Amino acid sequence: MPADRVHLVRHGEVFNPEGVLYGRLPHFGLSDLGKRMAAAAADDLVSRGRPVTGLFSSPLQRARESAQPISEAFGLEPQIDERIIEPTNAFEGTRMRGPGGSLRRPANWRYLVNPWKPSWGEAFSSVTARMLAAMNDARHSVESGDVAMVSHQLPIWVTHLVITGKRPAHDPRKRRCALSSITSFEWHDGRFVELGYTDPGAPIASDATDVGAV
């Protein structure tokens, strides 16, 4: 039998003193607070009393580091899956707002002409297709138990939208996908259904910096 449940875990806070949109850039690892948030996510999974028998991670450093506490808690070797990586983004490496921010530059406005696609990066339809394919393969990679997959805010959020019957186009400011949050799914009647959302990092997240995408 495949896995009973798939948990999409977002990475913890990133050390990002310049406040840039880090996207797929290398060398953006977790802050000290982010490491504590990642540990809180692992503790949450342990507290459920369910075996996690498979662990997958985006190849980006912040996701790999966030997978480590889960790896240690369940004795699993994380497997890298390129399909659950952050989407491409034309604003990668820049600060979005404030003095000198990318949104103030007329040359960048061409990237904002179609927020429903979106025009600044990988299409939502592409993101959800690769995420769902990765989730289904991960489900079949084990014979029982649950699978945890450490990914990023936008891929997790648009996957939630599609699975719950909503359009993937959305306002980035209104995503329900906090740092180190866990969105859980089960397979029923040939499709994924959402079971719930938890935010185990919330008690320590008051001072966290979360630089999201446009």
Per-residue pLDDT tens over the stretch 114-151: 888 998 899 999 999 999 999 999 999 999 999 999 99
C-alpha to C-alpha distance for 123 and 169, rounded to whole angstroms: 10
Q: 103: pLDDT confidence band, cut at 50, 70 and 90?
A: low
Per-residue pLDDT tens over the stretch 22-62: 999 999 999 999 999 999 999 999 999 999 999 999 999 99
Listing DSSP states for 153-185 in one string gives HHHHHHHHHHHTT--S---GGG----TT-EEEE
Q: What is the reported pTM?
A: 0.94
Share of the chain above pLDDT 90, in %: 77
Q: Is the C-alpha dihedral spanning 41, 157, 133, 124 positive or negative? A: negative
C-alpha to C-alpha distance for 70 and 121, rounded to whole angstroms: 30
Question: Over 80: is that where the pLDDT of 196 sits?
Answer: yes
